[in-house]
Chains A and B, each alone.
Chain A
Amino acid sequence: MKDGSQSAGTSDRALRVALAGNPNSGKSSVFNSLTGLHQKVANFPGVTVEKKTGQCTIYNSSTGVPTRFEVIDLPGTYSLYPKSPDERIPFEVLCDPHNPSHPDLVLLIADGTNLKRSLFLASQVVDLKLPCVLVLNMMDLVLASGTQIDVRDLERRIGVRVVPINARKEEGIEELKQVMVGATPVPEKDVLETTELAPKLIRGLRDLLKLRSDYSAMQIAQHRDSLGQFGFEKQLIEEAGQLIDSTGFNLEKLKSYETLERYKVIQEILRHVVTDPKTPRAPGISQRIDRLLMHRVWGYVFFLFILFLMFQAIFSIAEWPMNFIDETFAGLSELVREALPAGMLNDLVVDGILAGIGGIIIFIPQIALLFTFIAILEDSGYMARVSFLMDKLMRKFGLNGRSVIPLISGAACAVPAILSTRTIGSWKERLITIFVTPLMSCSARLPVYTLLVGLVVPQGSFAGIMSLQGLAMMALYLIGFLAAIGSAALMKYIVKARERAYFIMEIPVYRTPRWSNILYSILEKIRIFLFDAGKVIIAISIVLWFLSSRGPGSTFSRLEEQHDFLEASANTSHDSLAKLQSEMLATSYAGRIGHWLEPAIAPLGFDWKIGIALVTSFAAREVFVGTMTTIYSVGQSDEDALTVREKMRSETDPISGKPRYDSATGWSLMIFYAFAMQCMSTLAVVRRETGGWKWPTLQFLYLSALAYFSSLIVYQVLS
């Protein structure tokens, strides 16, 4: 785009469109309406901030010419001046012309019911002189409140196209798409003239860096300390730094002066454009709901009730599809085993690959349910209330009201949960949240718990309504939570604060969750799990199958020959074959590793088979069930395709003859999995978020010690 304007064409490269707006402005609804299922989540290069991108092709309604777009959903922010790592992204993408995500067109998503605050960010972006379209969202609520917005007048005054929409009901999306394929010019005039605030600095910097607007020069000047992160040449950056220093402006003062002036201009625009300029949104309904949900007693009761509902649902509703998946895979294994000729390939497919895939797919019902709950709580606006209610309490433990969201998300997965700590402004509170989040029982622990709870807790109900197994499950989550806040309280006294902590957040009005948004979020989470975690799990399953079906030295090969001979002969007894197979497992590579570990874990009530699972779960704890499945399929005769739970239930201690998985071992194992840091992805994310190996190392050591000694105590007390 030589002239800087975006033109509709059929060029090979897709036009890059960025969505910018305040949090809660309905950005993700617009994003989903535009891209549908053609979206993916990756990271912005070098940082772990989620980068949501999607593709869409729009046909010009009059010419029929298609235009391809790459849509980027930028993190929500109130201003281009970043306050947290998350908010740096919109600033960098929009202000740095060399940023790889720098857009050809910006859709400024404004909450029509809060135009004044929305226009603050919008006008900043307009002044960057990027081709922009102002999208007025939530027009249904605006109309319902009796407010009138003169769209044409607003267009004239702010200098960019304005499109009113209602993203929740998909109203106005078609008009928006047609505007996107039309030519969008660069805004001509500044909403706020900033040049005269510091003419020498702004003009000098603009000329030096060849920027497209005076305002981007002013924005870049504000980031004197992080100039190196922009994509300009080194030489230019050095000169720019000298220029900024030589003019000696009080940049902080300049910033707040600009903020005040900008709001004055916006106020003036709105005075002309909006009729009925009193408080645009009637807060009536939300306030009435809050009287109950933010009540000093009922507020907490309701919150606990929601959590209770969540865990009961995860355990009881998910059980049905999970049993179905479990049985389907047992049946499938049987089929494949008979269809393929016996031998190495057969074993690899059934015991390695199918067992691995089954162990992954079984997670899906619970992950879907958990994320459904979390997405509904976020989308409805309730999560912000929870942060508000919990802030004081959380601070007693060195945390922040905003830590509640990562902690609850931690019940799904620690990785996105740790990423969501970026909204916490204070370093100390953020670090503590990151440190303790892995103690929250994530969805990867669910199958481990499910398996073990099913083994050691009897079916049946308490007081007629609550299932005992559901209660045990809730207890495990509670133990994780208590360990998390206990550890946080400990860290509060160890970690030094870098700056004063604060908590400033918008409390949005209640909205009915938009089901398609929730659906997209669940699909995304399942996809990430299936393909990212799934790859690791299958790879480990295959390695494990190899390690447990091969062994070092002559003992193993002698056993193997014996086994093949017995299997081939017709009148071999079932028992002698099974006995031989378990001997083979014990002498395999995996068995040897397990035996080698046994002295260290025996006081915890674990045997060498569990030892193998501990080793493989080091990379990712969800591998536990897969490992157990593999170990027990390798150790069992081919004829019974029992599910892993049944196999484990029938396992007995070779010395005492009692069930191997009694309640002491079961609980000890569950506590171990509740506390131990068995997730490489989490460690990797912590390293990136804390900028070094110091914190992930400390975290790993602390959590491992906590897991080991807690399990030790549990086993010694229960056995």
Chain B
Amino acid sequence: MLCETKRLSSLHQGDSAIIESFSDDRVKQQLLEMGCLPGEKVTIDRFAPLGCPMAIQVNGYTLGLRTEEAASILVKPLQ
């Protein structure tokens, strides 16, 4: 079941979501090239001990990014 759009940074460890769009053009291109594509499933792997950065599973590998960058990824959480 799909819920309302959220920022990726607001999810919790173990949550999964589908990427919808990006709110920051500057990091958008790099995220796209690294395989964070709209429609792709992401799973939150873990947060670093101080809450940032976070590690996500996407496109078959683990990607580390700061919560600010993750906040620019708009997702629909999966339940």
B28 and chain A: residue at smallest CB distance: A256
Chain B min CB distance to A251 (Å): 11
Q: Which residues 19-55 of B sit at the A interface, judged by CB distance below 8 A?
A: 25-35, 37-38, 45-46, 48-53, 55
Q: Contact between B46 and A294 (Cβ–Cβ < 8 Å)?
A: yes
Nearest 3 A/B pairs, CB to CB: A296-B49, A392-B50, A79-B33
Q: Is residue B5 within 8 Å, beta carbon to beta carbon, of the partner chain?
A: no
Task: List the A side residues contacting B11 at CB < 8 Å.
Answer: none
Q: Contact between A503 and B33 (Cβ–Cβ < 8 Å)?
A: no
Q: Contact between A391 and B66 (Cβ–Cβ < 8 Å)?
A: yes
In angstroms, Cα B38 to Cα A522, docked, is: 43
Q: Which residues 60-93 of A sit at the B interface, judged by CB distance below 8 A?
A: 78-79, 81, 83
Task: List the A side residues contacting B57 at CB < 8 Å.
Answer: 279, 283
Which of A113-121, A167-175, A361-369, A645-653 participates in binding chain B?
A: A113-121
With beta carbons under 8 angstroms apart, the residue of B61, B63, B68 that contacts A502 is B68
Q: Contact between A116 and B59 (Cβ–Cβ < 8 Å)?
A: yes
Q: Contact between A392 and B52 (Cβ–Cβ < 8 Å)?
A: yes
Which of A38-46, A333-341, A504-512, A591-599 participates in binding chain B?
A: A504-512
Q: Contact between B60 and A388 (Cβ–Cβ < 8 Å)?
A: no
Task: List the A side residues contacting B60 at CB < 8 Å.
Answer: 113-114, 116-117, 279-281
In angstroms, Cα B28 to Cα A263, docked, is: 15
List 8 additional contacts besides A260-B32, A279-B60, A502-B26; criterion CB under 8 Å: A117-B35, A255-B29, A256-B29, A300-B49, A505-B63, A505-B65, A506-B62, A507-B63
Q: Is residue A289 within 8 Å, beta carbon to beta carbon, of the partner chain?
A: no
A-B contact pairs, 27 of them (CB 8 A): A79-B33, A81-B29, A81-B33, A256-B28, A256-B32, A259-B32, A283-B57, A286-B62, A294-B48, A294-B55, A297-B49, A384-B64, A391-B52, A392-B50, A499-B26, A502-B27, A503-B53, A503-B65, A503-B69, A504-B27, A504-B64, A504-B66, A506-B34, A507-B55, A507-B63, A508-B61, A508-B62
Q: Contact between B50 and A502 (Cβ–Cβ < 8 Å)?
A: no
Q: Is residue A252 within 8 Å, beta carbon to beta carbon, of the partner chain?
A: yes
Q: Contact between B49 and A252 (Cβ–Cβ < 8 Å)?
A: no
Q: Contact between A287 and B45 (Cβ–Cβ < 8 Å)?
A: yes
Q: Is residue A143 within 8 Å, beta carbon to beta carbon, of the partner chain?
A: no
With beta carbons under 8 angstroms apart, the residue of A263, A300, A503 that contacts B64 is A503
Task: List the A side residues contacting B50 at CB < 8 Å.
Answer: 392-393
User: Chain A 481-521, CB within 8 Å of chain B: the 1/0 string?
Assistant: 00000000000000000011011111111000000000000
A385 and chain B: residue at smallest CB distance: B64
Q: Is residue A164 within 8 Å, beta carbon to beta carbon, of the partner chain?
A: no
User: Chain A 257-300, CB within 8 Å of chain B: the 1/0 string?
Assistant: 00110010000000000000001110100110010001111011
Q: Contact between B33 and A120 (Cβ–Cβ < 8 Å)?
A: yes
A291 and chain B: residue at smallest CB distance: B46
Q: Is residue A128 within 8 Å, beta carbon to beta carbon, of the partner chain?
A: no
Q: Contact between B37 and A114 (Cβ–Cβ < 8 Å)?
A: no
From known contacts A279-B60, A287-B45, infer whether A259 and B35 are also in contact, taking CB-CB under 8 Å.
no
B40 and chain A: residue at smallest CB distance: A263
Chain B min CB distance to A309 (Å): 22
B32 and chain A: residue at smallest CB distance: A259
Q: Is residue A620 within 8 Å, beta carbon to beta carbon, of the partner chain?
A: no
With beta carbons under 8 angstroms apart, the residue of A283, A296, A504, A508 that contacts B65 is A504
Task: List the B side residues contacting A83 at CB < 8 Å.
Answer: 30
Q: Contact between B59 and A114 (Cβ–Cβ < 8 Å)?
A: yes
In angstroms, Cα B35 to Cα A263, docked, is: 8
Chain B residues proximal to chain A, CB less than 8 Å: 25-35, 37-38, 45-46, 48-53, 55, 57, 59-66, 68-69
Q: Is residue A401 within 8 Å, beta carbon to beta carbon, of the partner chain?
A: yes
How would you classify the secondary structure of chain B's contact residues: helix, strand, loop or mixed? mixed
With beta carbons under 8 angstroms apart, the residue of B26, B62, B66 that contacts A507 is B62
Chain B min CB distance to A209 (Å): 24
Task: List the A side residues contacting B51 at CB < 8 Å.
Answer: 392
Q: Contact between A391 and B53 (Cβ–Cβ < 8 Å)?
A: yes
Q: Contact between B59 and A505 (Cβ–Cβ < 8 Å)?
A: no
A296 and chain B: residue at smallest CB distance: B49
Task: List the B side residues contacting A414 at CB < 8 Å.
Answer: none
Q: Is residue A389 within 8 Å, beta carbon to beta carbon, of the partner chain?
A: yes
Q: Contact between A392 and B64 (Cβ–Cβ < 8 Å)?
A: no
Q: Contact between B27 and A388 (Cβ–Cβ < 8 Å)?
A: no
Task: List the B side residues contacting A256 at CB < 8 Å.
Answer: 28-29, 32
Task: List the A side residues contacting B28 at CB < 8 Å.
Answer: 256
Q: Contact between B61 and A117 (Cβ–Cβ < 8 Å)?
A: yes
With beta carbons under 8 angstroms apart, the residue of B26, B45, B46 that contacts A500 is B26
Task: List the B side residues contacting A384 at CB < 8 Å.
Answer: 64
Chain B min CB distance to A556 (Å): 64
Task: List the A side residues contacting B61 at CB < 8 Å.
Answer: 114, 117, 281, 506-509
In angstroms, Cα B48 to Cα A516, docked, is: 33
In angstroms, Cα B37 to Cα A279, docked, is: 15
B62 and chain A: residue at smallest CB distance: A507
Q: Contact between B37 and A260 (Cβ–Cβ < 8 Å)?
A: yes
From known contacts A259-B32, A283-B57, A506-B34, infer whether A299 and B64 are also in contact, taking CB-CB under 8 Å.
no
Q: Which residues 386-400 of A sit at the B interface, judged by CB distance below 8 A?
A: 387-389, 391-393
Q: Contact between B34 and A117 (Cβ–Cβ < 8 Å)?
A: yes
In angstroms, Cα B17 to Cα A11, docked, is: 56
Chain A min CB distance to B11 (Å): 17
Task: List the B side residues contacting A296 at CB < 8 Å.
Answer: 49
Chain A min CB distance to B65 (Å): 5
Task: List the B side residues contacting A392 at CB < 8 Å.
Answer: 48-53
Q: Contact between B48 and A389 (Cβ–Cβ < 8 Å)?
A: yes
B22 and chain A: residue at smallest CB distance: A256
Task: List the A side residues contacting B48 at CB < 8 Å.
Answer: 294, 388-389, 391-392
Task: List the B side residues contacting A299 at CB < 8 Å.
Answer: 49
In angstroms, Cα B68 to Cα A392, docked, is: 12
Q: Contact between B64 and A502 (Cβ–Cβ < 8 Å)?
A: no
Task: List the B side residues contacting A506 at CB < 8 Å.
Answer: 34, 61-64
Task: List the B side residues contacting A263 at CB < 8 Å.
Answer: 32, 35, 37
Q: Contact between A507 and B64 (Cβ–Cβ < 8 Å)?
A: yes
Q: Contact between B55 and A388 (Cβ–Cβ < 8 Å)?
A: yes
In angstroms, Cα B13 to Cα A331, docked, is: 64
User: Chain A 464-482, CB within 8 Å of chain B: the 1/0 string?
Assistant: 0000000000000000000
From known contacts A281-B60, A392-B53, infer whether A502 and B29 are also in contact, taking CB-CB under 8 Å.
no
In angstroms, Cα B52 to Cα A160, docked, is: 42
Task: List the B side residues contacting A401 at CB < 8 Å.
Answer: 53, 64
Residue among A81, A389, A506, A507 with the highest chain B CB neighbour number at 10 A: A507
